[in-house]
Amino acid sequence: MAITKVWVEEDCISCGVCEDLCPSVFFVEDQSSVKDGADFAANEEKIKEAAASCPVEVIKYEEE
């Protein structure tokens, strides 16, 4: 299954863990965001790791 969508829900605490683990997909300013045009297929394992490592569990993704 391939990741087709990644998003960060509202309760992000801007800890930066996702950006540290997967900087080609995530960036943190006021809140974590997903970069436009990010290659989800090339970063699938790192996206899953970032989601699992998020202390407030707000990183979500869809797989097809």
pLDDT 10s digits, 1-31: 899 999 999 999 999 999 999 999 999 988 8
pLDDT tens-digit map of 18-64: 999 999 999 998 889 999 999 999 999 999 999 999 999 999 999 99
- 3-63: CATH architecture: 2-Layer Sandwich (3.30)
Model pTM? 0.93
The token pair that represents 53 in the structure block = 């490592």
Residues whose CB falls within 8 Å of the CB of residue 16, separated by 6 or more in sequence, listed in order: 28, 32
Strands (E), 1-64: 3-8, 26-28, 32-34, 59-63
User: Taking the domains of the chain in order of start, what are their residue ranges?
Assistant: 3-63
